[in-house]
Structure 1
Amino acid sequence: MHKNKGFSVEEKIRVGIINYLNTRPLLYGLQFPPITEKIELIEDVPAKLAELLINGQIDVGLVPVAITQKLSHYSINGNYCIGAIGDVASVCVFSQVPLEKVEKIYLDYQSRSSVALCRWLIKNHWKITPEIVDARNESYLEEIKGTTAGLVIGDRALQQRPRFEYIYDLAGEWKQATGLPFVFAAWVSTRKLPDAFITEFDKANAYGLAHLDEVIAKIPEGIYDLKKYYSQDLSYTLDEEKRKGLALFLKILSDIS
């Protein structure tokens, strides 16, 4: 692990990015020069990317913010993130019955931040006491029925939406509980990235967000209204309000641990 040394000019910076629809606008901008000459892209699910960052196998990752609790030191880079100022649509608890009748909740295995947020909401906002089960694989999706609910994130959550009468959106519930937006993932590194690189990296992120029609054109139709998803449900700018929401969530996490 080489987290403490600087980057050489010729060294490519290893960039980990979540392979969900929600990252496509940011990923799009990273596929054009000049940034492509300076990075190596590695795609995976959030929890796996977090492991890669911890183990020094990537230099910066768009990772669940909860992972920062496991890092002795870290930086949050640039001005973009995966966030929401209200309902996000793709991080939800799905159920066939209202929350107060739920007896068991499965928690998605693909993200630490969403699971931590869900546990906090269960105890402090919804104030319910169901049995909580950490899912291990995709089979838990078949268990969401009757009085058993489930937290599902990412593209799979968008696919679940037509199937359930009760959908509890975690970003919307957080906003209701705290008055603040929520940041699910940010560009986290374990060693300082060059300032010039961060400036260029931000420009690449902004480029993708400015070309949403091109981003959407590359994705098969029918999963969800992606124009709405990218321009209304998701909010990618890591502004002051999102930084406040992020700081509060990280404080909650540190109080729990």
Structure 2
Amino acid sequence: MTIQLGKIGYLNVLPIYHPIEKNLIENDFNIVSGPPSALNKLMDAGKLDLSANSSIEYARHFEKYYLIPHIAIGSCGPVQSVLLLSRYPKEELEGKTILVSSQTHTSAALLQILLSEFWKIKVNFVSGDATKELEEGELPDAILAIGDEALNLRYHPEYQSRVDLGEEWRNMTGLPFIFGVWIVRRESYHASPEKIRIACEKLIEGKDWGNEHIHDMCVLAADGSCLNEEEMCSYFDGLVYDLGSKEIQGLELFYQHLKKNDLISTIPELVFIP
């Protein structure tokens, strides 16, 4: 059984996957890379055994999955790669239209929560490709950009208002925000529990290796990026890769807000791999 492992195709998971892909940590994964929305669909369809997935994917189908402990992707403050970029101050967005990347589920839900519960602003949403629209000369009122696109667009001259959603969540709640979790399909686990447990251990080893070599990862990530080495180190410094008690509190609070806004039908129980 070759483990089908999902990888978010953004720089933020580089420290975890680099040692695995370079076989610095011995493994037999078949790695499938893609945006969060694509990995959510593959995981739900049973085409991956374990994967990094949107936090909301676990909430929507938690009966299918186990959480992998001690590993997540989030922030406790500015995340820099989940940004609301606007041509207007946030307070003037009432009635305006926000272009939301089709690659995101969790960040879009977080934005809806911030708008409805904390900012008390009503807007319209459309889904699309912000980079493509900007290249074609279109200027949406506002854009929710995530991942590498957010890093590339954050200083766009037409979008002077920039709101970091990770920072806004921390300001409103005092807790980290967990954008992604690593999950295992329960069917895969019960078919081969020992092999899946070893695979989970390899991911944790990857995280630990990445933390120990984070400066090297900054240098590697900056090569070919719009960010220089110093900016890339600042970016990685703002990320959270652990799933400790505070991170779990933040995740549980997010799920409560999802239920309150009818974005999920049931608040999920956090069930970790046996």
Whether TM exceeds 0.5 here: the answer is yes
Structure 1 residues 114 and 35, CA, compared in 2 at 3 Å: closer, same or farther?
A: same
- How far residue 57 of structure 1 moved from its aligned partner, in angstroms, is 0.7
Percent of aligned positions that are identical: 27
1:210 Cα deviation (Å)? 1.4
Q: Which residue of 1 aligns with 2:168?
A: 173
Is residue 2:77 matched to residue 1:86? yes
Shift in Å, 1:35: 4.6
CA offset at residue 172 of structure 1?
0.8
Q: 1:246 to 1:87 in 2, by over 3 A?
A: same
The CA deviation string for residues 208-232 of structure 1, in whole angstroms up to 9 with x for no partner, is 221123323333255221111112x
Amino acid in the other structure paired with 1:106: L
SS at match of 1:107: strand
> Contact 1:93 / 1:170 at 8 angstroms: preserved in 2?
yes
CA deviation string 1:89-127 (max 9, x = no partner): 000100121012222211111110001101111111111
The Cα of 1:34 is off from its aligned counterpart by 7.1
2:43 is the alignment partner of 1:53? yes
Aligned equivalents of 1:139 and 1:222: distance in 2? 18
8 A Cα contact 1:35 1:201, kept in partner: no
Secondary structure of 2:155's partner?
A: helix
Counterpart of 2:80, as a letter, is: A
* Structure 2 residue 179 is matched with structure 1 residue 184: yes
Gaps of 5+ in 2: 265-274
| Counterpart residue number, 1:226 | 232
Secondary structure in 2 matching 1:173: helix
Aligned residue pair count: 244
Give the TM-score normalised by structure 1.
0.87
Does 1:201 find its partner at 2:203? yes
2:65 paired with 1:74: yes
Determine if contact 1:16/1:49 at 8 Å carries over to the other structure.
Answer: yes
Q: What letter matches 2:36 in structure 1?
A: P
Match of 1:27 among 13, 17, 29: 17
- Retained in 2: the 8 A contact 1:109–1:137? no
SS of 1:37 mapped into structure 2? coil
Q: Once the 2 structures are TM-superposed, how far is the Cα of residue 137 of structure 1 from its aligned partner?
A: 6.9
2:89 is aligned, of 77, 81, 98, to: 98
Letter in structure 2 aligned against 1:112: H
Unmatched tracts of structure 1, length 5 or more: 1-10
Aligned to 2:269: none
- Structure 1 residues 168, 144: CA separation in 2 closer, same or farther (over 3 Å shift)? farther
Deviation, 1:234, is: 1.0
Mapped contact 1:19–1:45 kept (Cα < 8 A): yes
1:37 to 27, 46, 51: 27
1-structure distance, mates of 2:59, 2:225: 37
Give me the TM-score of the superposition, normalised by structure 2. Answer: 0.82
Contact 2:78 2:164 in 1 (8 A): yes
Structure 1 distance, partners of 2:47, 2:165, is: 30
* Alpha-carbon distance change, 130 to 201 in structure 1, aligned in 2, over 3 angstroms: closer
* Greater shift in the superposed pair: 92-101 or 44-53: 92-101
Aligned pairs for 1:86-165 (under 5 A) are: 86-102=77-93, 103-135=96-128, 138-141=131-134, 143-145=138-140, 148-163=141-156, 164-165=159-160
